[in-house]
Structure 1
Amino acid sequence: MSTAIQHDRSDLFIGGEFVAADSTARLHAINPATEERIGSIPDANERDIDRAVAAARAALPGWRRAGGAARSAILARVAEGIAARAEELKDLLLLQNGAPRWWRDQDVTITQMLYRQASMGAGQLEDETLVEAPNGGKTLLQREPIGVVAAISPWNAPQALLAMKVANALAAGCTVVAKPSPETSLDCYLLAEILRDAGVPSGVFNVVTGGPATGAALVAHPGIAKVSFTGSTASGKAVARECANTLKPLIAELGGKSAAVLLDDADVELFLSSIQREGLPFSGQACFCNARIIVPRKMQDEVVAGVIATLQSFRFGDPSDDETIMGPLVSARQKERVEGYIRSGLEEGAVLALGGNTPTGFDKGYYVAPTVFTGVTADMKIFREEIFGPVFTVSAYDTEEEAVMLHDATDFGLSGSVYSRDLARATEFSRKLSTGQLLINGQRGAPNALRDFYKQSAFGGGVDRIGGFLLTKGITQPIGDVKMKTIFG
């Protein structure tokens, strides 16, 4: 696959327009399947951020006054615009992060859904409610947008993860400065066009691009009222420290080290059928990957053989081939990181059952073969730490108590699955696990069900909700004509 079209940008989206960046520094975009340069973006500086935040602050009063019904209509048009330009978005994602067709389709489809859900939520918002006490006292509760939101998103599902932040913030009446990942910023320019064309007023949505310094400056800016961040736990801790300096509220979805726990009555074929979607989607570059397999010792050989056969059946390679299931990793740095973990697994005594190398014929591109380790114990780095690559670990247990211990033996608690033919048994087992989201037999439930993430997988719950972008003010109304008294009488 060759990349003929270059996407060089020297502008940012600020105040409803594409304006020249003040910064002259540039970051290059690289196609991970070919290692070809596909374009560049500005590495925005503090003056660029000042302009974007100023535009968002100026737009805030008018966007708030527009009301929920008007915001709802605009967000519905955003969803329609994304649907109309879906293939353009997918083409940009292919070039930037090497996502295979099925993953790109999912990313853009979920993005449309999130804007539609936010549209419905905006239409249902009540700005004021009156609460009455039994003694006749009344308090008027007024809900108002928190202010300008910094939305910082990663590269693995760039449109959907940004939509979780932007759609809900806009529905609440907030304005936004978005900072996409440097690996996937080109699609955010197209998103800015879609929002502008849908009628989002000037300054309500702004985009600054750049690397870690740009993100740090945006988080630290005094005009930002709240930060919504998705990324690694290490980066999230740095964001949290900066937010703490000004007690700025933060919601952060961070890393994961999720597990699939098979009970002794599990349907192994059903588990194997979920590997593409839940096990190692996008070559393992998703925080919810069930990359740890925890299995009864008597079933270990059957499960390992099935996992290997399933991975070998996947079309591996060029993500521009619509039949490809697993493609490259996003960058040379990510490939080096994954290869480092594979070396660590071997050094710590895990048994390499599959992969662990660069596949033959893939000298160009950031490819790592699907990899399976067995004999993995809870003290190994490959068991405890997030790898973010196509690496499965298999650990055997003898009792359910040991299975719970193995499941919880990491610093993360984002997602996971429990497999059993007995729904009641699987549900009861799931209650024992320290994880925010559990799928029984790999089946996803109600998408609007509210949940949190546990341990170091999140800060502030980790899930963006419209209510999280609102503040509630209480205005008390006196009972009759009474003299003012102190709280002490």
Structure 2
Amino acid sequence: MTLHQRITKPVLDFILRQHDLLIGGASVPAEAGERLAVVDPGTGQVITSVAKGRASDIDKAVRAAHAAFESSAWRDMKPVERSRLLHRLADLVEQDMAFLAELETVDNGAPLLLTRNFFLPLVASTIRYYAGWPTRLNGETIQVSAPGDWHAYTLREPVGVVGQIVAWNAPLVLTMQKAAPALAAGCTIVLKPAELTPLTALRLGELALQAGIPEGVFNIVTGEGDAGAALVEHPLVDKISFTGSTPVGKSIMRSAADGMKRLSLELGGKSPSIVFADADLELAIPGVANAVFMNTGQVCVAGSRLFVHRKVYDQVVEGVAAIATGLPIGHGLDEGSVIGPLISQAQRDRVLGYVEQGKAAGAAVAAGGTAVGDAGFFVKPTLFTDTTPDMSIIREEIFGPVVAAIPFDDDTDLSSLVAQANATPYGLAASIWTRDLATAHRMARRVRSGTVGINSHGLLDVALPFGGAKQSGFGREYGAEGILAYTETKSVAALLGA
């Protein structure tokens, strides 16, 4: 079956349209007239193209966002009205949900099972959650001790123009976990989607205009890394929120320093899943498998290091290997597909390169370890055993469906196990699988990561703050911290009398 036979007509019609930049509420071509090819990762075929924005286009978008921020149409909008617009956007996303899920699958490769049942519901609930915040962004009155009679208080004000740069692994989810709180706070946005997955962002921009969000408040520039760099460096941008790799995050920090831009960085991970001997294996085995194989392992919180007590090691390894072998692999639009393609040929080569490094270093392949088919960018879910701490598959983020199992014994005390779990420059997520809640909570306090799951891994809930420690970044998305990150506190002190 060809790709065009798989796609429904409304999605195909959208894909075949002319895709330009969204600046100041208008669809405009890139100034240089260049285009970027968009590839379906399930077939490897070019399906359309989008405008290739560069620094001059970023400048136009930032100036449009700055003008919108300064305008009375946005800055002076009543909180209840901003809330109404966000609820309207959520309505449109929910009405468009089947369309968006299919478009995301074509663009990103993630199976419909994932985009329909997890990604799009999370996107809608994120908008709904932050739609409730505009009327709750309050300051407080402060009792000061300075001489005189004072009325002192604080205000929560939007930070200003925000540059948002998102990764390709879950484009709509990542876009909305940034855009929804920024809009709720009263900021204006220039979004730079990942060059590999621009389509759903452009559709979202159309829906934002339909919802009544004023022109220039939400701008989208598709392009490559030079466009992202220009966004970071632009003097009218007040804050950058970035999701992506740690090396790029470090580069953004250096560039943002000159303008003292506020930063939120959600970067890489090498997360541990830790299974104790008393764990409920009927829960733990599928849990740790899903922790690394979901979205074909292209998940920043992926549990790619699997620590298992020796007493249950063989059982867990056999169970995870059986799951890895049995997961249906196929194009994301094929009903029943659970493992879709990797995002690109380069990413597949990267993942297979790590697999070969693991083999060469002496690790044993308990499942997978090879590519699948000639069309698209597929790799079998892979489980390694017989690993050592110096192997690259233990130390480095692979961003694919590859997990390495590591046994531990009765004589491995909690301090030693924590040290092994923390023996990484990353600190994004971890999970602890045990019936002993004292052990679970002791471990949770000592593992250095922004998120810890107990008998679960990588829970994403819009009310729960999410972010990393160490080189996994800083700042939090979701929850109250997610919107406060787009505000600044202003202190006001009025002298009423001596």
Range into which the TM-score falls when normalised by the shorter chain: over 0.9
Change (3 A) 1:175 1:338: same
Residue pairs, 1:181-200, within 5 angstroms: 181-200=194-213
Pair 1:415 & 2:449 matched: no
Tell me how far apart the structure 1 counterparts of residues 260 and 474 of structure 2 sit (CA, whole Å). 14
- Do structure 1's residue 118 and structure 2's residue 133 form an aligned pair? no
1:88 matched to which residue of 2?
Answer: 99
Letter in 1 for 2:335: D
Which residues of 2 match residues 61-460 of structure 1 at below 5 A?
61=70, 62=72, 63-105=74-116, 106-126=118-138, 128-133=139-144, 136-275=149-288, 277-359=290-372, 362-398=373-409, 399=412, 400-442=414-456, 444=459, 447-450=462-465, 452-460=467-475
CA drift at 1:303: 1.1
Matches within 5 A, 1:40-51: 40-51=49-60
Query: AA paired with 2:226?
Result: A
- TM superposition shift of 1:156: 1.1
What is the Cα deviation at residue 265 of structure 1? 0.8
Q: Is the 8 A contact 1:93 1:104 kept in 2?
A: yes
Shift of 1:459: 2.9
1:469 match: 486
- What's 1:487 paired with? none
1:10 CA displacement: 4.7
Whether contact under 8 Å (2:163, 2:232) holds in the other structure is yes
Q: Does the 8 Å CA contact 1:275/1:281 hold for their aligned counterparts? A: no
What SS does the aligned partner of 1:274 have? helix
Indicate the larger mover: 74-83 or 14-23: 14-23
2:325–2:367 CA contact under 8 A, matched in 1: no
Inter-CA distance 365–305: structure 2 relative to 1 (3 Å threshold)? same
Distance 1:258 1:79 in 2: 32
CA contact (8 A) 2:55 2:226 kept: no
In structure 1, C-alpha distance between the alignment counterparts of 2:80 and 2:185, rounded to whole Å: 11
* Identical positions, percent: 38
Q: How far does the alpha carbon of each residue in 1:44-86 deviate from its partner, in whole angstroms, 9 at most, with x for none?
A: 0122111111111111132121032111110111111100111
- The aligned amino acid for 1:19 is V
Q: 1:394 to 1:276 in 2, by over 3 A?
A: closer
How far apart are the structure 2 equivalents of 1:460 and 1:447? 15
| Helix, strand or coil at the partner of 1:431 | helix
State whether residues 8 and 41 of structure 1, in contact with CA within 8 Å, keep that contact through their aligned partners in structure 2.
no
Count residues in correspondence: 478
Distance between the aligned counterparts of 1:395 and 1:132, measured in 2? Answer: 56
d(CA) in 2 for partners of 1:22, 1:90: 31
In structure 2, the CA distance between the partners of 1:2 and 1:275, relative to structure 1 (3 Å rule), is farther
Contact kept, 8 Å, 2:125 with 2:462, in 1: the verdict is no
Structure 1 residue aligned with 2:48: 39
| Number of the residue aligned with 2:9 | none
Quote how far apart the aligned CAs of 1:92 are.
Answer: 1.2
CA distance in 2, matches of 1:421, 1:123: 42
Matches of 2:38 and 2:171, distance apart in 1? 15
Given that 1:280 and 1:291 are in contact with CA atoms closer than 8 Å, whether structure 2 keeps it comes out as: no
Conserved in 1, the CA contact under 8 Å of 2:111 and 2:337? yes
Q: Which amino acid is 2:135 matched to?
A: G
The CA deviation at 1:393 is 0.4
Residue in 2 aligned with 1:3?
3
Which deviations, in whole Å up to 9, do the C-alpha atoms of 1:23-56 show, x marking residues without a partner? 2221111111111111111110122111111111
User: Deviation per CA, 1:145-177, whole angstroms, max 9, x where unpaired?
Assistant: 111000111111111111111111111110001
Structure 2 spans left out of the alignment, 5+ residues: 5-11
For the structure 1 residues 168 and 447, does the alpha-carbon distance in structure 2 shift closer, same or farther, using more than 3 Å as the test?
closer
Distance 1:60 1:285, change over 3 A: same
What is the rounded CA distance, in whole Å, between the counterparts of 1:449 and 1:315 in structure 2?
A: 31
C-alpha distance in 2, partners of 1:90/1:455? 33
Deviation at 1:130, TM superposition (A): 2.6
Matched residue, 2:38: 29
Alpha-carbon separation, structure 2, partners of 1:452 and 1:20: 35
Counterpart CA distance in 2 for 1:206 and 1:23 is 18
Whether the 8 Å contact between 1:7 and 1:186 is mirrored in structure 2 is no
In structure 1, distance between residues paired with 2:112 and 2:140: 46
What's the secondary structure of 1:182's corresponding residue?
Answer: coil
Q: Name the CA distance, whole Å, in 1 between partners of 2:344 and 2:477.
A: 26
Distance 1:355 1:19 in 2: 46
Contact 1:419 1:426 in 2 (8 A): yes
Taking structure 2 as the reference length, what is the TM-score of the superposition? Answer: 0.92
CA shift, 1:451, in A, is: 5.4
Which runs of 5 or more residues in structure 1 are unaligned? Answer: 482-489
| Counterpart Cα distance in 1 of 2:362 and 2:486 | 48
User: How big is the shift at 1:421?
Assistant: 1.3
CA contact (8 A) 2:476 2:485 kept: no
Q: What's the TM-score, normalizing by structure 1?
A: 0.94
Contact persistence 1:149–1:177 (CA under 8 A):
yes
**C-alpha spacing 1:92/1:446, structure 2 compared with 1 (3 Å):** closer
CA contact (8 A) 1:14 1:52 kept: yes
CA distance in structure 1 between the aligned counterparts of 2:460 and 2:185, rounded to whole angstroms: 25
Moved more, 386-395 or 60-69: 60-69
Query: What is the DSSP-based 3-state SS (H/G/I as helix, E as strand, rest coil) of the residue aligned with 1:169?
Result: helix
